[in-house]
Amino acid sequence: MRLYDRNTSTKESASAIVHSFNFQDKINFTSIIDELELKLPRRTQVGIVDNEGDVVYYIANIIEWTKTKLKDNVQNINEDPKMQELVDLGYQIHSGLKFGTHYRVYNYESEHAPWLIHITEKNHNWLDVARMIRVGHGVNKTIVLKYEEYWISLEWTKP
């Protein structure tokens, strides 16, 4: 579905492409990743539809982590091979259990974790994703889903 921002002509390029899913659907980011990899100037959004027909929208982005360094006197004890990329780049990884996710991630500059990471499996559904994002939004953190080899951030947005 194409989305046009208010006061934008529909004769212009769409402001966003919305990928809609039922909240009970198993997650599959294939179409979202394909859209994001085009690197077009429009937003890529996910619309999750509940059983009453209401839709909650999220803006999707692929995260490309930059190199940072560990804070002094800090060691990473995380042994999850799916997180090794971030460990190698110098990010500090801690349990995310208190936020209902797998990990919280710090960079050198951050006193509080800017990101909550969830390792996403194909048996998760969109309701699981909506729960994670709701908690992340409530504590001012960006939810990042590790899906196959991709890091995908999802942030709640008003329609």
Report pLDDT for 73: 73
Q: Annotated catalytic, 91?
A: no
Question: What percentage of the chain carries pLDDT values higher than 70?
Answer: 92
Backbone phi, psi, residue 6, to 5° = -55, 150
- In the chain, the domains with their CATH numbers are 2-157 (3.40.1350.10)
Give the model's confidence band at 23: pLDDT under 50 very low, under 70 low, under 90 confident, else very high.
very high
Residues 4-14 pLDDT 10s: 566 666 566 77
- Given 19, 141, 146, 147, the catalytic residue: 141
Q: Annotated catalytic, 147?
A: no
Q: Which residues of 81-120 are buried (b: 16+ CB within 10 A; e: fewer)?
A: eebeebbeebbbbeebeebebbbbbbbeeeeebebbbbeb
Report pLDDT for 4: 54
- Given 57, 58, 91, 106, the catalytic residue: 106
Q: Which residues of 140-153 are buried (b: 16+ CB within 10 A; e: fewer)?
A: ebbbbbbbeebbbb
Report pLDDT for 101: 93
Mean pLDDT to the nearest integer, 50-76: 89
Q: Annotated catalytic, 94?
A: no
